[in-house]
């Protein structure tokens, strides 16, 4: 399972420390199968991954579903990115606690466009 979790983490971009502290909450294998791709026996694992990103003390929940493809290179498992498929992603912008609080405060005069602008400004500031 460790190779699969590492492949999922790498494939969906959870291995990025620049977005904050990333913690895999759950990685569930939904289906497994093997298929010949060229000369390789490729092991496909359909997955669902839930994880939490904490940026400046503000945790946010994210999830992905898809299929990772692995093949054996000597003693090591390698990901075949060309065979991986992402079928579902829920990944809201990673925001700091102050920006999140601003967006959650009731403001009847703030339009969805204004909220989106705040999110985009926070995203640019955080990069």
Distance (Å, whole) CA 95 – CA 50: 18
Q: What are phi and psi of 7, to 5 degrees?
A: -65, -45
Distance (Å, whole) CA 125 – CA 105: 21
Biggest distance spanned by C-alpha atoms of the chain: 61
Comparing 127 with 48, the larger pLDDT belongs to 48
**What Rg do the C-alpha atoms of the chain give, in angstroms?**
18
Report pLDDT digits (tens) over 15-72.
566 667 778 888 899 999 999 998 889 999 999 989 888 877 888 888 889 999 999 8
Mean pLDDT on 110-118: 69
Please, what is the end-to-end C-alpha distance for the chain in angstroms?
32
Three-state DSSP at 63 gives: strand
């Amino acid at each position: 399972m460790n190779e699969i979790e590492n492949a999922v983490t790498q494939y969906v971009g959870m291995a990025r420390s620049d977005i904050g502290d990333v913690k895999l909450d759950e990685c569930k294998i939904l289906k497994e199968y093997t298929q010949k791709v060229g000369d390789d026996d490729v092991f496909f694992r359909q997955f669902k991954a839930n994880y939490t990103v904490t940026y400046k003390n503000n945790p946010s929940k994210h999830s992905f579903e898809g299929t990772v493809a692995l093949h054996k290179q000597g003693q090591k498992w390698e990901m075949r990115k060309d065979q991986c498929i992402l079928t579902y992603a829920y990944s809201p912008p990673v925001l700091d606690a102050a920006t999140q609080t601003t967006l959650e405060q009731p403001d009847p005069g703030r339009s969805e466009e204004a909220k989106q602008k705040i999110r985009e400004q926070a995203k640019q500031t955080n990069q």
